[in-house]
Amino acid sequence: MRRIKQQQVKQFLLPLPPDREGKIFLDGKDYHYLVRVRRLKKGDSFPAVLPGGATAMVRVEADNGSVLTGVYLESASQEPAAGETMATEPPRIILFQSIPHGAKMDTIVRQAAEGALSEVVPFFSAFSPPRSGPNKTGRWRRIIREARQQSGSPVATELREPCSLDEALSCWGSLKGSKTVGLLFHHIPLAQETLHSYLSIYPGTVVIAIGPEGGFSPDEAERFINAGFRPVTLGNTVFRVETAALYCAAAVRVILLENSSWTLKQMPE
């Protein structure tokens, strides 16, 4: 019987590159995570991601009770093995998320990182909470780091500073191109084409816009459409905001990953 080697998914995102001797020193929360949560001991090795994005193996050399010393072993090879080909670079998925009430954005950010989304752009819309609250960008970036370590996502999910709707649409303007698709997921059936049809151009970047509780106002929906977003409605179910972001991103990703196995068929008139 052929033995199948189980791949270790969890990875650790190094806050700093190794020093000239190839050593890495980790303390504080990083020490707690590796020693108390992952239970790593002297001699154990673990996959890590360097600040520049390269992957490597690190071996635990010492643990003095508060600082873990690791030794950089080698970079993980990105070259295909004999008879293999490199996988095609998947399209980028960027989430434009209108900030909801409470801690729901924490869940959305975590799921975006686990789902390998390229970027999250949080913005305030008509039904978002007041903008006077504390800035949670630092917290969301920590959540992204933890989610990537837990899930093993190879995508370095970026997070922009919270902004206004005008600034979000300006960001969209800088992303627009012949291979960029903007999708406005709206609970009101405004769609004129199917999701498969919108994605049939095999885009390089897909931007999805999700509203907060209550969705987007009619004026906001019109602004997105006038800016070039395509309206999409997925059935007649009203989702919780944190479910909507995950559901819509997953629908887009599955279509993009399987675009070589489906064909677009015209509905009979």
Verify that 50 and 102 share a domain, yes or no: no
Verify that 31 and 112 share a domain, yes or no: no
Verify that 205 and 248 share a domain, yes or no: yes
Structure tokens, 29: 């929360």
pLDDT at position 2: 42
> Is 7 part of a structural domain of the chain?
no
pLDDT at position 234: 73
Verify that 42 and 103 share a domain, yes or no: no
Domain boundary among 42, 75, 108: 75
Question: Would you tell me how many other CB atoms lie within 10 Å of the CB of residue 234?
Answer: 15
pLDDT at position 81: 46
Element (H or E) spanning 197, and its range?
helix 195-198
CB of 118 within 8 A of CB of 160? no
pLDDT at position 76: 54
Alpha helices for 137-180 (secondary structure H): 137-151, 165-175
Verify that 140 and 66 share a domain, yes or no: no
Domain CATH for 60: 2.40.240.20
Verify that 150 and 237 share a domain, yes or no: yes
pLDDT at position 164: 96
| Residue listed under structure tokens 């008139």 | 269
* Whole-angstrom distance, CA of residue 187 vs CA of residue 211: 10
pLDDT at position 214: 84
CB of 61 within 8 A of CB of 69? yes
Domain boundary among 75, 107, 124: 75
Verify that 170 and 242 share a domain, yes or no: yes
Verify that 120 and 229 share a domain, yes or no: yes
Domain boundary among 32, 49, 75: 75
> Is 3 part of a structural domain of the chain?
no
* Whole-angstrom distance, CA of residue 202 vs CA of residue 257: 10
CB of 64 within 8 A of CB of 101? no
> Is 17 part of a structural domain of the chain?
yes
Verify that 156 and 99 share a domain, yes or no: yes
> Is 30 part of a structural domain of the chain?
yes
> Is 143 part of a structural domain of the chain?
yes
pLDDT at position 65: 92
Adjacent-strand bridge partners of 94: 119, 207
Structural domain count of the chain: 2
pLDDT at position 228: 93
> Is 6 part of a structural domain of the chain?
no
Domain CATH for 245: 3.40.1280.10
Verify that 149 and 26 share a domain, yes or no: no
pLDDT at position 63: 93
pLDDT at position 25: 94
Structure tokens, 11: 């990875």
User: Would you write out the chain's pLDDT as a tens digit for each of its 269 residues?
Assistant: 344 344 446 888 898 889 988 999 999 989 998 998 889 999 999 888 888 778 888 999 999 999 999 998 876 544 444 444 444 567 899 999 999 998 999 999 999 999 999 999 999 999 999 887 778 999 999 999 999 988 888 889 999 999 999 999 999 999 988 789 999 987 666 656 788 888 888 889 999 999 998 889 999 999 999 999 999 887 677 788 889 888 999 999 888 888 766 655 555 55
Verify that 230 and 131 share a domain, yes or no: yes
> Is 178 part of a structural domain of the chain?
yes
* Domain span holding position 181: 92-257
Adjacent-strand bridge partners of 181: 206
> Is 262 part of a structural domain of the chain?
no
Comparing CA positions, the residue from 156, 185, 188, 191 lying closest to residue 245 is 185
CB of 95 within 8 A of CB of 85? no
pLDDT at position 191: 59
Q: Identify the sign of the CA torsion 49, 15, 110, 196.
A: negative
| Residue listed under structure tokens 């991103």 | 249
Verify that 67 and 101 share a domain, yes or no: no
